[in-house]
Amino acid sequence: MTEIRNYHTAEDVAQAAAENAVELLQIAIETKGSASWVVAGGSSPMLAYKKLIKEFSDALDWSKVTVIIGDERMVPLDHKDSNYGAISSLFNKNVELAKVKWLVPDTSLDAATAARDYAAKIAEQNFAEFDLVWLGVGEDGHTLSLFPGNVSFTGPTDEWVIPVYDSPKPPSERITLSLKALEYVDELVIFAVGASKQDALKAARLKRLLPVSVASDVVETNGGEVRWLYDEAAWNDD
């Protein structure tokens, strides 16, 4: 099932995402003893991480949550462009959030080897599905490091993690979860925030073949729940 929720501001979206994450992760912990959460970089998710840290750090046992980086740039993990570096630096400032378990790619390897290595790390966890996945949206409709027209998006694959070359946004080399991996998602939350995303998000609602709309369809087709969180700036229904 797909649900669209509209909020006034990016702050409201961040608050809603944080509250939803706590609820879903806690349900997973109570049901299975642990929870898996695929996280995203970008300004909108980062605002939601800050909400989590400020308001929900004691809401659950974070040591039972495994955090998976959805896509990563092939840079050192302490580099300013590293998704892991940006997110973990926030979590590590809080004594409770610092307890999460990380699954992180080895960016010292070449992209192809790093993708295989990371896929193996994920496989070792024996996740039946990812309990929660957060995705952002680019102005071109990309999500994760799945870009329109790039083979990372257009090429068929049975691999859960794939290398990305010639990214239209630097750095050019990355690794990313694939559409195949998104077949195994319980709940997907998409941050649809900002006026610069209006055109891409409207195209996604019209089911044009942008990565974010295809990712949403993959999750829903395979039985997952999809939740789009819009702020007023991003909503354009003209």
| Domain CATH number, residue 159 | 3.40.50.1360
Report the DSSP beta bridge partners of residue 214: none
Report the number of distinct structural domains present in the chain. Answer: 1
Q: Is residue 236 part of a domain?
A: no
Residue 198: φ, ψ to 5°: -55, -50
- Alpha-carbon torsion angle 69, 74, 75, 78, nearest 10: 10
Q: Is residue 47 part of a domain?
A: yes
From first to last of its 238 residues, the chain has per-residue pLDDT tens of 889 999 999 999 999 999 999 999 999 999 999 999 999 999 999 999 999 999 999 999 999 999 999 999 999 999 999 999 999 999 999 999 999 999 999 999 999 999 999 999 999 999 999 999 999 999 999 999 999 988 778 777 899 999 999 899 889 999 999 999 999 999 999 999 999 999 999 988 887 789 999 999 999 999 999 999 999 999 976 6
What does the alpha-carbon distance between residue 5 and residue 171 come to, in Å, rounded to a whole number? 33
Query: Tell me: the pLDDT tens digits for 154-210?
Result: 777 899 999 999 899 889 999 999 999 999 999 999 999 999 999 999 988 887 789
> How many CA atoms are closer than 13 Å to the CA of 22, on its beta-carbon side?
18
Q: Which domain holds residue 104?
A: 2-231
- Angle among Cα 187, 65, 104 to the nearest 5 degrees reads 90
What does the alpha-carbon distance between residue 40 and residue 83 come to, in Å, rounded to a whole number? 7
Which residue in the block uniquely carries the two structure tokens 């740039």? 73
Q: Is residue 51 part of a domain?
A: yes
Q: Is residue 237 part of a domain?
A: no
What does the alpha-carbon distance between residue 23 and residue 52 come to, in Å, rounded to a whole number? 12
